[in-house]
Structure 1
Amino acid sequence: MTIRDVVFVPGRQALNEMHRYSPAVRSNGFLFVSGQVGSREDGSPEPELKAQVRKAFENLNAVLSAADCSFNDVVDVTIFMLNPDQVFEMLWNEVVPEYWGQQPYPNATVVGVTWLAGFQFEIKVVARLPND
């Protein structure tokens, strides 16, 4: 039986336990990070969109840090958002650059969705483990 090398962030298990998933898994020199949302420690969403996006990036950075990575190690990004036609430009130009890191940027895919379990924004990444 294969045992997953799971990365946990202390105090951030509410959503992981509620939805039964691991925040991140190390495998073959990469870190696969589950979708991070703008959740508070209790799993509830930040109510305001910009604050929710910032919190999603803070949660992502916490998972990366727990695996000794940073956003500069990220090679692939997938972003899911509600109502992209209404919020994409604002988020992409005002909030995302605060956290994105330096060039060269990772590749990115942005997907408009109709449901994110009570959230408006989710980001998942694949990162290169720095010492592998």
Structure 2
Amino acid sequence: MSTRDVVFPAGRQALYEKNRYSPAIRSNGFLFVSGQVGSRPDGSPEPEPTAQVRRAFENLNAVLEAAGCTFKDVVDVTVFMVDPETHFEQLWSEGLKHWGEAPYPTLTGIGVTWLYGFQFEIKVIAKLPETSAA
């Protein structure tokens, strides 16, 4: 079995070790990022849903930056949302601020009933820059 090429953003490794998963893995020129939620540095959720989305994108950006990527490198997005019928427009409008101009990444949105105390989670696949592809 090959060793996983794990990417850890600064200051959050203890949370990932506690929960026993990798924030992101580099593989075959791509970066596979685990779902990012609106957690504060101690792992607790931001109390307000829009602030949770904002924080989830900040956490995602930290993982992308640790791998040498930006939002422009993201090719596929999956979002999970509690009660999307009520919250989708409000919460996703916060996310739209990060994608820039078209062409946009692909998007799959999934409504869920539970996210461990969170309202929103985002996971992505990004194309690694040629210089850091592993």
User: TM-score with structure 2 length normalisation?
Assistant: 0.93
Deviation per residue, 1:4-47 (Å, 9 max, x gap):
00000121134312321000000000000000000011111111
- Work out the CA distance in 2 between the residues paired with 1:125 and 1:4: 18
Give the aligned residue type for 1:70.
T
Residue matched to 2:28:
28
- Work out the CA distance in 1 between the residues paired with 2:61 and 2:25: 15
Q: How many residues align?
A: 131
SS in structure 1 at match of 2:32? strand
- Work out the CA distance in 2 between the residues paired with 1:80 and 1:33: 14
Give the aligned residue type for 1:43.
G
- Work out the CA distance in 2 between the residues paired with 1:20 and 1:101: 33
The answer to whether the aligner puts 1:5 opposite 2:32 as a matched pair is no
User: TM-score with structure 1 length normalisation?
Assistant: 0.94
Residue matched to 1:39:
39
**Identical pairs, percent:** 69
The answer to whether the aligner puts 1:115 opposite 2:131 as a matched pair is no
Moved over 2 A (4+): none
Residue matched to 2:17:
17
The answer to whether the aligner puts 1:103 opposite 2:109 as a matched pair is no
- Work out the CA distance in 2 between the residues paired with 1:28 and 1:54: 30
Give the aligned residue type for 1:118.
G
Deviation per residue, 1:100-125 (Å, 9 max, x gap):
23210000000000111111100000
Deviation per residue, 1:51-85 (Å, 9 max, x gap):
00000000000100000000100000000010100
- Indicate the RMSD between aligned Cα atoms, in angstroms: 1.1
Give the aligned residue type for 2:46.
E
Structure 1 unmatched runs, 5+: none
Give the aligned residue type for 2:107.
A
